[in-house]
Chains A and B, each alone.
Chain A
Amino acid sequence: MESILLSLSGGLLEAFQPLNLLMIVIGCVVGLFIGAMPGLGSVNGVAILLPITFLVPPNAAIMFLAAIYYGAMYGGAISSITLGIPGASTAVATVFDGRPLAIAGKADQALTAAAIASFVGGTVSVVLFTLFAPPLADFALRFGPPEEFALMVLAFATFIGLGGDDIPKTIFSILIGLVLATIGLDIISGRPRLIFFDISGFMHGINFLVLAIGIYGIGEMLWTLEQTEGNVIVHKVNMSWRAFLTNLGHVKYYIKTTILGSILGYFVGTLPAAGATPASLMSYGLAKTFSKDPESFGKGNVAGVAAPEAANNAASTGSMLPMITLGIPGSPTTAILLGGMIIWGLRPGPLLFTEHPDFVWGLIGSLYVANAFTVLINLAFIPLFVRVLTMPFTVLAPIIFVLCVVGGYAPSQTMHDVWLMLLFGVAGYLLRKLNYPVAPAVLAIVLGPLAEQSFRQSLLGSQGEVWIFFERPISATCIAIAAALVLYPVLRGLRKPAKAQA
């Protein structure tokens, strides 16, 4: 314990070196803005700014990149709330409640909740990281394909409550999301799959962002245009100190969800292959399942903003653990960070902690500092972001369309994806008008590939024997919890009428 504190104080001192501190602050701001652009997430920020890091020492470089990563996680929530478009896959769950709050003129509340929850998530996970890194790395190693599949089953189970009231339509939505996720290369057989009309653009599969931007950006915008018939919506924005303090006071409504989401997010993040997106979705699902008022979720509950935001920030710290100790990226962004470390001549692996303690502790120290800076910067910018919503709708709408088009293009740099995005947008709009829930499709496209891959890897390993999922302790536990989660609302539903009778 003492040695941890000693190392940590060394790390914090390192983070407060003038150059490092400057890099952290710049990184936070840059990340915040990149994250706030639809389509651009921490992956783009980190990948594009990686070459900069050749010019500064590795310690400053990793702190810069980690700060961008951190800032982008906060930034993702901004476009989710103000524009209704998830800035990155990690922020998709933030849209569910963030957007309704913004439409109701409570964008400032939602943004404050997102910032506070992110801060709590970041802090909780950094503390957990500091204390439990080595034992957790061992735990992560015990996660083989069967455990990964069981975790995905658990993730799906947390979404039970997210569907609409029309069961066949909800099932259809989940299934089409899963099917869209199978397009592209099948890594198990190495064969291209569902390449419609032999168009080579399908070979890289359907990027999550293409569906999410299509449905939430274009589809939602069309829906809003129809509802308002193009009339101007002007939000009253209250930007006084009093309002700010009142918003801070709302913390009590979501603090429990936030802490739960932070811990969950951290653990899911540390598992290789999982990362921040499933973590934020699971956190949202759990917050809804265990809420006293599950009906208000999806209609503008601040806890619905706080839960995913806490989890995605916590998971982004968590996913640095497998990167540092195992050399395995827990997310696409850490994959690039990992590449960066290798380029600087640092070999991530089980020995990094002992051979380069100054580097590792410097990074951990910088996470504390970056977290504190980002929340301050973010809170300071809230009035600016809220102002976006005061624009006349016929000015805002074309700008959002443009951001969608550019954001759909940027990740893969093909027009093919932009066309698909428009198609999904229009289809999503038409389906939504018929009460088809669209969120399950978006969730399914994220988790589908992980689920299929780990399922088939497990069966390859067990020679086609399905019992493997129940024989192994960790996977059996996950499946048991999943079953309990599915049954919980049913049981609660059964108990209510019984009470009413009594």
Chain B
Amino acid sequence: MNIARRGILALAGALGIGAMIASAPGVAQDWEPKKPVEFIIMAGTGGGADQIARLLQGLIEKKDLSPRPFIPINKPGGSGAEALRYLQDKAGDDHVVLVTLNSFYTTPIIQQDLGVDISNFTPIGRMALDTFLLWVNTDREDITDLDSYVDAVKAAGMEWKVGGTGSGQEDSILTAMMEKEFGYEVTYIPFPGGGTVAKNLVGNHIDSTVNNPAEQNEFMRAGNTKPLVQFTPERMQSYPDVPTAQELGHDIVYFMQRSINGPPDMSPEARDWYINLFKTLFESEEWQTFCVEDGLTCDEWVAGDDLAAFHAEQGKRHQELIESVGAAAITGE
């Protein structure tokens, strides 16, 4: 039965009108959830990870893929530190999964005393890769490409304001990488969320930003902002005219992964059930449409041990990145 009817009827029941509905239990399998599954989001409401979790929850509900509901719970504390520690403490629990950002890698590196080792977690599946582009306001007619951008930044020096979603977040790492590559220094101003960053760029309160496509697309279409360069290995379908940094001779490539992970020591049966579930979702038409519209890359399904290998590689890469730019460049103090 659908959640709408359930919600309304339950409310009626709760009000004392009373209603009883029984639904048939799901098809027997090796393992399936016995109670509602906690769907932990390591970021606040309304962000990219949150949207993904709520979309997936809705799809699970709509397609009736789970006998128990998935319940999104936001734990944004400490750049995801709270979520990671929560998951660590839930070791062996088969009814909790986590939607990640790249703070999955960076938070344990930057906050050493957290005591979380992500290699203990149970990788389930990678739903998408998100990409980054460099954006400026279209009012800046003097900036047309990467070179003129670098010149403008160097001329402005510390007065050049780059907006981002927070020190230690993906875009601050990318900003630090660019500072190192081009040999300039800028002022990095954190805002609570990519949408706010985009608005501040349109309102000329900041000079540039590295936003995800989803956060800037509408402003680009309205002619408010323009992308200068993309940080992908190859040009994306949606931005055929924007060069990649590699084409221009600067080796900056950066992705954000959106993956689903379980706590340490999840039972293999449960893990397989979740892998199956999220694979079905990944292949669904709705998910693929969402990916295209949101500028996400969803070509390849990576699950289980392959995802563990991917996490290991990305973890190492972030470790190197943070060492090379210096943790101080990212945390800002």
B187 touching A185 by the CB < 8 A rule?
A: no
Q: Assuming A190-B169, A192-B111, is B86 touching A200 (CB within 8 A)?
A: yes
Identify which of B46, B86, B188, B219 gathers the most chain A CB atoms within 10 Å of its CB.
B46
B196 with A272: CB separation less than 8 A: yes
> Cβ of B79 and Cβ of A204 under 8 Å apart?
no
Q: Note all chain A residues with C-beta closer than 8 A to B205.
A: 144-145, 461
Interface stretch among B57-65, B236-244, B277-285, B298-306? B57-65
* B297 close to chain A: CB less than 8 A: no
Inside 8 A of B51's CB, which chain A residues have their CB?
A: 339, 342-343
Residue of B nearest to A191 (CB): B331
CA distance A349 to B15 in the complex (A): 40
Residues of chain A lying within 8 A (CB to CB) of residue B330: 190
Q: How far is the CA of A143 from the CA of B196 in the complex (A)?
A: 11
Residues of A within 8 A of B166 (CB): 187, 190
Check if B139 is an interface residue, CB within 8 A of chain A.
no
Q: How far apart are the CA atoms of A347 and B198 in the complex, in Å?
A: 14
A30-B202 Cα distance, complex, nearest whole Å: 37
Q: How far is the CB of B46 from chain A (nearest CB, A)?
A: 3
Quick check: B15 and A192 within 8 Å, CB to CB? no
Q: Which of B77, B169, B199, B331 contacts A328 (CB 8 A)?
A: B199
Measured in the bound complex, the distance between the Cα atoms of B214 and A485 in whole Å is: 42
Contact status B78-A203, CB under 8 Å: yes
Q: Is the CB of B54 within 8 A of A343?
A: yes
A189, A204, A336, A349: the one within 8 Å of B222 (CB): A349
- Per-residue interface assignment for chain A, residues 162 to 189, with 1 indicating a CB less than 8 Å from any chain B CB and 0 otherwise: 0000000000000000000000110111
Q: Does B73 contact A (CB under 8 A)?
A: yes
Q: Which residue of chain B has the shortest Cβ distance to A56 in the bound complex? A: B4
The answer to whether A203 and B221 touch across the interface, beta carbons within 8 angstroms, is no
* Interface pair B195/A328, CB less than 8 Å apart: yes
Least Cβ distance of B284 to chain A in Å?
A: 12
Are the CB atoms of A30 and B294 closer together than 8 Å?
Answer: no
B164 to chain A, nearest CB (A): 10
Contact B76 A188 (CB under 8 A): no
Q: Does A51 contact B (CB under 8 A)?
A: yes
Are A189's CB and B82's CB within 8 A? no
Indicate if A420 sits at the interface (CB-CB under 8 A). no
Q: Which of B15, B62, B161 contacts A51 (CB 8 A)?
A: B62
A window 371-423: CB within 8 A of B:
412-413
Q: Which of A185, A191, A342 touches B77 (beta carbons < 8 Å)?
A: A185
Stretch at the interface among A42-50, A118-126, A153-161, A476-484: A42-50
Those of A12-58 within 8 Å (CB) of chain B: 26, 30, 33, 43, 47-56
Beta-carbon contact of A185 and B196 below 8 Å: no
Give 1 or 0 for each of B41-75: 1 = CB within 8 Å of chain A CB.
Answer: 00011100011001101110110000000001101
Q: Which residues from B are CB-within-8-Å of A342?
A: 51, 214, 293-294
A53 to B44, CA, bound (A): 21
Q: Is residue B206 contacting chain A, with contact meaning CB distance below 8 A?
A: yes
Task: Kindly supply a per-residue 1/0 record for chain A positions 308-340, scoring 1 wherever the CB is within 8 Å of any chain B CB and 0 otherwise.
Answer: 000000000000001000111100100110111
Q: Is the CB of A189 within 8 A of B54?
A: no
A247 beta carbon closer than 8 Å to chain B: no
Query: Is A240 on the interface with B (CB-CB < 8 A)?
Result: no
Q: How many A-B residue pairs have CB under 8 A?
A: 187
Task: Point out the residues of chain B lying under 8 angstroms from A190, CB to CB.
Answer: 79, 110, 166-169, 172, 190, 330-332
Do A191 and B159 touch across chains, with their CB atoms under 8 A apart?
Answer: no
Determine if A142 and B203 form an interchain contact, defined as CB atoms under 8 angstroms apart. yes
- Check A141/B189 contact, CB under 8 A, given A184-B78, A190-B172, A351-B218: no
Is the Cβ of A347 less than 8 Å from the Cβ of B218?
A: yes
Residue A453 at the B interface, CB < 8 A? yes
User: With A185-B78, A327-B218, A332-B45 as given contacts, are A30 and B167 in contact (CB-CB < 8 Å)?
Assistant: no
For A205, what are the chain B residues with a Cβ–Cβ distance below 8 Å? 77
B84 CB, min distance to chain A CBs, angstroms:
9
The residue in chain A whose Cβ has the minimal distance to the Cβ of B161 is: A461
The answer, among B4, B76, B79, B215, for a CB contact under 8 Å with A55, is B4
Complex: chain A residue closest to B332, CB-CB: A189
Compute how far the CA of A154 lies from the CA of B83 in the bound complex, rounded to whole angstroms. 36
| Complex contacts, A142 vs chain B, CB 8 Å | 203
Interface pair A345/B293, CB less than 8 Å apart: yes
Which chain B residue has the least Cβ–Cβ distance from A143? B203
State whether B57 touches A51 (Cβ < 8 A): yes
Closest to A138 in B: B203
Pick the contact of A460 from B77, B86, B189 — CB < 8 Å?
B189
Number of interface residues of B (CB under 8 A): 71
Residues of A within 8 A of B224 (CB): 350
Question: How far is it, in angstroms, between the C-alpha of A51 and the C-alpha of B159 when the chains are bound?
Answer: 45
Which residues of A in the span 186-234 have a Cβ within 8 Å of any Cβ on B? 187-192, 195, 200-205
Are the CB atoms of A204 and B82 closer together than 8 Å?
Answer: yes
Q: Which residues of A contact B85 (CB under 8 A)?
A: 200, 203
Q: Are A50 and B58 in contact (CB under 8 A)?
A: yes
Q: What's the nearest-Cβ distance from chain A to residue B221, in Å? A: 6
Partner of A200, one of B7, B82, B158: B82
Q: A49-B7, A189-B331, A339-B51 are in contact. Are A329 and B195 (CB under 8 A)?
A: yes
**B11 interface contact, C-beta 8 A:** yes
A130 within 8 A of B: no
CA distance A141 to B224 in the complex (A): 12
Chain B residues within 8 Å of A272, by CB: 196, 199
A residues 45-85 in Cβ contact with B at 8 Å: 47-56
Docked-complex contact B218 and A339, CB < 8 angstroms:
no
B23 contacts A by Cβ under 8 Å: no
How far, in angstroms, from A444 to B196 measured CA to CA in the complex?
23
Q: What is the chain A residue whose CB lies nearest that of B76?
A: A204
Chain A, residues 457-471, CB within 8 Å of chain B (1/0): the string is: 100110100000000
Contacting residues, chain A, for B222 (C-beta < 8 A): 349-351
Question: With A192-B81, A339-B54, A345-B293 in contact, do A54 and B75 touch (Cβ < 8 Å)?
Answer: no
A413 engages B196 (CB within 8 Å):
no
User: A128 interface residue, CB < 8 Å from B?
Assistant: no
Q: Does A273 contact B (CB under 8 A)?
A: yes
A-B contact pairs, 27 of them (CB 8 A): A47-B54, A49-B3, A51-B58, A51-B62, A52-B4, A54-B58, A55-B4, A144-B200, A145-B205, A187-B192, A189-B332, A190-B168, A190-B331, A191-B167, A203-B78, A204-B77, A272-B199, A335-B44, A336-B46, A343-B54, A343-B55, A347-B217, A348-B218, A349-B218, A460-B188, A461-B206, A463-B159
A-binding residues in B (CB < 8 A): 2-4, 7-8, 11, 15, 44-46, 50-51, 54-55, 57-59, 61-62, 72-73, 75-79, 81-82, 85-86, 110-111, 158-159, 161, 166-169, 172, 187-192, 195-196, 198-200, 202-203, 205-206, 214-215, 217-219, 221-222, 224, 289-290, 293-294, 330-333
In the complex, besides A51-B58, A413-B73, 7 extra interface pairs with C-beta distance below 8 angstroms are: A141-B202, A185-B78, A190-B332, A191-B167, A203-B78, A328-B196, A342-B294
Please give me the 10 A-B residue pairs with the lowest Cβ-Cβ distance, nearest first. A349-B218, A335-B46, A203-B77, A190-B167, A144-B205, A204-B77, A190-B168, A51-B58, A350-B222, A203-B82
| Contact surface of A with B, Cβ cutoff 8 Å | 26, 30, 33, 43, 47-56, 141-145, 184-185, 187-192, 195, 200-205, 272-273, 322, 326-329, 332, 335-336, 338-340, 342-343, 345, 347-352, 412-413, 453, 457, 460-461, 463
